[in-house]
Structure 1
C-alpha cells in the first residue's frame, strides 16, 4: 500500500486539548483524498494500537475514526486554526473551558476575568442554546464555532443549571481572551498556585511564582489543578521537575518503545506540598498529581480525578486540516495505570456545588498549617 510512507508533520504533543475536552468521536468533513491517505499512513505507523494495512484499506475517514479511540479526531482547516489559537493562549470568545458529555455541552470552568466569569457561569452549567438555537446533540467543535466570533460582537447563550428550572438567557459580548497559565497568592501563610492549563508558558510562570513565594519565606504550598483539563506533556514534566525529587516523573509507553521522564531535583524547594484535584482534573494534571503522590513529596486532596492516561499527537494534513490520534499511554512513577481509573486522593473532600465556601481549599490550608505547627513542635 503506497500511502504508508511516514510523514514528519507533527506539531505538538498534547495530553488534552486546552479549551475543549472532547469525549466523543467527531464527525469528519471537508477532507481530501491526500488527507485520507496521510491519515492512514499516520495510523499505520504511529497509533498506540497496531492496526493492519488490510483493516485500513478502502475505509472512509468516518469509518477510520470509529475504529480509533475517543480522543482521535480530524480537524478541518477552520477547526485546526481555532485549535492553534487556543494552544497559543489567545482567541476571541466568551472565555470558558467546555466539554461534551452525552450530547450536551457543559462549562468546565470560566476563565477568570473573562465574559463567562463575569456572567457567573459555573462548572457544570449546560450551554443549552446559542443564539436561540438548541445545541443538544451538536458536535462539540460545531458548538464552539457558534459560541466564538469576532471581538466586540454578541452571542446569546441559553444556560441550564442543576437545581434551577428553565433556561436563563445571557447576552455575552465576545472579547479577546488571553489565557494566563497560572495565578498565585499567599493565604494564611501558605502559598497558593492555581495552574489553569499546561501550556508552553506554564513552566516559566510556575518557576517565577515559586521563586517569588520562596523569596517571601513560604515553605508550604497548595497547587490547584481542579478543573484543569491538561495540556502539554513537556510543560507538566518541567513543572514536576521543580517539585518531585530525583527519579521518575512519568513513564510513556508507545507501541514499539518506552521512555521515562525523570527529575534531577536533589532537594524539594518546599517542605509541604498539597495538590488539589477533582473529577475534572485530567491528563497532564493527573501526571503531576501521580508524581507527587507516588514520590510521597506531597499530599493529594479533593476527589478522584478524570482518568485520562493517554498521549495524543496532532499532525498537519496536505489539505490544511489536522489529525489527532492517541500514540501512547502513560503510567505513574510506580507504574500505576491512570487511564480509566484516575488518581484517588489521600484525603477525599467533596465540594458542594452551591457552597460559596471553597471547602477543599479551606481543608488544604488547615491541613498544611497543622502540619507546620507539628513540624515546629518537633524541632
Structure 2
C-alpha cells in the first residue's frame, strides 16, 4: 500500500551513491539462511499445501547447513541470510523490487535528499547493458572520462552484464575517498578498458531555471529528478521568472529518471487545472485518483521529453498532455508505469517493492509503451542535450511552438 512508508516512482536511471555493497542477487538464488524463525514464517495449519510448504522450508534449512558444513571456505552465516533475502525478492521477477540492507536503505533515503557520496553518474538498462546516461558535471565520473553511452561490463573485476541496475549500483557504491574500477565498453563496443574512479561527496543539481537570452519572454526550467522539496523550488523559480517578464515556459524533463510520487503530483499541480494528475491501481484492482491541488501556470507551456524521461517524469508529462495544459516536444518517453514503496523490516532493513501501477491522467497505461510527444523531434546522433538555457534542436522547436502560441514571428 502506498501509505506504508513513502512511494517512489522512477530511478531506472540511477545516480551512483554511497553505501555498502552486499551480496549480489545473482548469488542469492543459490544460498539460504535460517529463515524459519528469523522471517517469522508459520507452517501451521491443515492441508497438503502447508505440508508442502514445510517440506520446502526444510530443504532450505538443509541447504543452509550443507553450505556451512561443506563449502571450501568459511562463509559468514549473515551473508547467507542476506543472500536468501535478496533471492526472495528476486523471485518476483521484477527488476524494480529489491531487498535493502540497513546500510543500503539509509543510502537510498539520503539519495532523495540530493546529497551523497559516489562517483556521480546516471545509468540505465539499454540493450540489456548497464549504460551511462551521463556523468554529472564536475563529478569524479566526468573527470575520469566516462561518457554517455558507455557500457559498464565489470566492477572491480566482477562481471555485471547479467545483473540488475540496483545490483550494479550497489557494487559501485562506497565511502568518499575510496576507489572503484569500472570495465567499460565504448562505441562501437569492440574493445574494453578499465577506468579507476575515486568516490567523492556529490551534490546533485535538482533543477535550474533562467530566461532564454535568445528567446525574449520565454523562461526555461529543467528538473533533474523529483527529490524531496523539488516542487517548492520549482514554484519559487516560476515566481522569479514571472517577475523577469516570462510569458511562456519550456519545462525540460529530458533524462529525468523519476523520483518521489508526491513531488511529481505537486509539480504537476503547478501546470494543470484542478482535477486528476494520475491514477494508482493496487494489486486488488482498486484505483486511487491523485489530484492537482494548485493554481496552474496559465501561460503557454512546452515540455521536453525523451527516452530517458521515466516514471515521475511521465506522470507530469502525461498529466500536461492529457489535460491539454501544454505541448510535449521531443521523443517517446521510457515507459515505466509502476510504483515502488519502501517497506520497513526489522533491524533497519527494508524492501523496495513494486506495490502498484499507475495510469496517466487520461487513463492510459504507459508501462512498456511510453508517451508519444505531440511534436516529434529526434536529437542528432551524438549531440548532447543543452542545459543552462542553451540551444539544441528540441529546445529550438519548443520555442518555435511557444512563439506560435504567443503570436510571435520566428527570428
Give the TM-score category using the shorter length. 0.7 to 0.9
Work out the CA distance in 1 between the residues paired with 2:312 and 2:188: 32
Stretch moving more, 338-347 or 131-140: 131-140
State the shift of 1:132 in Å.
5.2
What residue is the counterpart of 2:228 in the other structure? 200
**Rg (Cα) greater in structure:** 2
What residue is the counterpart of 1:355 in the other structure? 383
Work out the CA distance in 2 between the residues paired with 1:171 and 1:261: 45
Alignment of 1:185-224 (within 5 A): 185-187=210-212, 188-189=215-216, 190-224=218-252
What residue is the counterpart of 2:180 in the other structure? 155
Q: 81, 90, 93: which is aligned to 1:65?
A: 90
What residue is the counterpart of 2:9 in the other structure? 15
User: Residues 97, 315 of structure 1: CA spacing in aligned structure 2 closer, same or farther, 3 A cutoff?
Assistant: same
What residue is the counterpart of 1:258 in the other structure? 287
User: Residues 206, 37 of structure 1: CA spacing in aligned structure 2 closer, same or farther, 3 A cutoff?
Assistant: farther
State the shift of 1:133 in Å.
5.0
What residue is the counterpart of 1:45 in the other structure? none
Alignment of 1:179-328 (within 5 A): 179-187=204-212, 188-189=215-216, 190-256=218-284, 257-265=286-294, 268-328=296-356
What's the secondary structure of 1:231's corresponding residue? strand
Alignment of 1:114-125 (within 5 A): 114-119=139-144, 121-125=146-150
User: Residues 168, 198 of structure 1: CA spacing in aligned structure 2 closer, same or farther, 3 A cutoff?
Assistant: same
CA deviation vs aligned residue, 1:271-309 (integer Å, no higher than 9, x gap): 211111111211100000110001111000111111111
State the shift of 1:96 in Å.
1.3
CA contact (8 A) 1:103 1:138 kept: no
CA deviation vs aligned residue, 1:159-207 (integer Å, no higher than 9, x gap): 3222365335444332201222211122223211111110112111111
Work out the CA distance in 1 between the residues paired with 2:145 and 2:363: 40
Work out the CA distance in 2 between the residues paired with 1:286 and 1:229: 9
Stretch moving more, 10-19 or 194-203: 10-19
Work out the CA distance in 1 between the residues paired with 2:127 and 2:51: 32
Stretch moving more, 53-62 or 73-82: 53-62
Please tell me whether residue 94 in structure 1 is matched to residue 119 in structure 2.
yes
Structure 1 residue ranges without an equivalent (≥5): 1-5, 39-51
Q: Which consecutive aligned stretches of 4+ in structure 1 deviate over 4 angstroms post-superposition?
A: 25-32, 52-61, 131-134
User: Residues 360, 186 of structure 1: CA spacing in aligned structure 2 closer, same or farther, 3 A cutoff?
Assistant: same
What's the secondary structure of 1:94's corresponding residue? strand
Work out the CA distance in 2 between the residues paired with 1:365 and 1:118: 33
Structure 2 residue ranges without an equivalent (≥5): 17-23, 42-48, 58-83, 386-391
Work out the CA distance in 1 between the residues paired with 2:190 and 2:129: 17
User: Residues 254, 32 of structure 1: CA spacing in aligned structure 2 closer, same or farther, 3 A cutoff?
Assistant: farther
What's the secondary structure of 1:197's corresponding residue? coil
What residue is the counterpart of 2:401 in the other structure? 367
What's the secondary structure of 2:131's corresponding residue? strand
User: Residues 288, 260 of structure 1: CA spacing in aligned structure 2 closer, same or farther, 3 A cutoff?
Assistant: same
What's the secondary structure of 2:341's corresponding residue? strand
What residue is the counterpart of 2:75 in the other structure? none
Alignment of 1:107-146 (within 5 A): 107-119=132-144, 121-131=146-156, 133-146=158-171
Work out the CA distance in 2 between the residues paired with 1:283 and 1:209: 23
CA contact (8 A) 1:274 1:299 kept: yes
TM-score by length of 2: 0.76
User: Residues 102, 322 of structure 1: CA spacing in aligned structure 2 closer, same or farther, 3 A cutoff?
Assistant: farther
What residue is the counterpart of 2:69 in the other structure? none
User: Residues 20, 329 of structure 1: CA spacing in aligned structure 2 closer, same or farther, 3 A cutoff?
Assistant: same
User: Residues 15, 151 of structure 1: CA spacing in aligned structure 2 closer, same or farther, 3 A cutoff?
Assistant: same
What residue is the counterpart of 1:84 in the other structure? 109
TM-score by length of 1: 0.81
RMSD of aligned residue pairs (Cα, Å):
3.4
Please tell me whether residue 178 in structure 1 is matched to residue 203 in structure 2.
yes
CA contact (8 A) 2:13 2:308 kept: no
User: Residues 198, 64 of structure 1: CA spacing in aligned structure 2 closer, same or farther, 3 A cutoff?
Assistant: closer
Q: 85, 100, 104: which is aligned to 2:129?
A: 104
State the shift of 1:142 in Å.
4.2
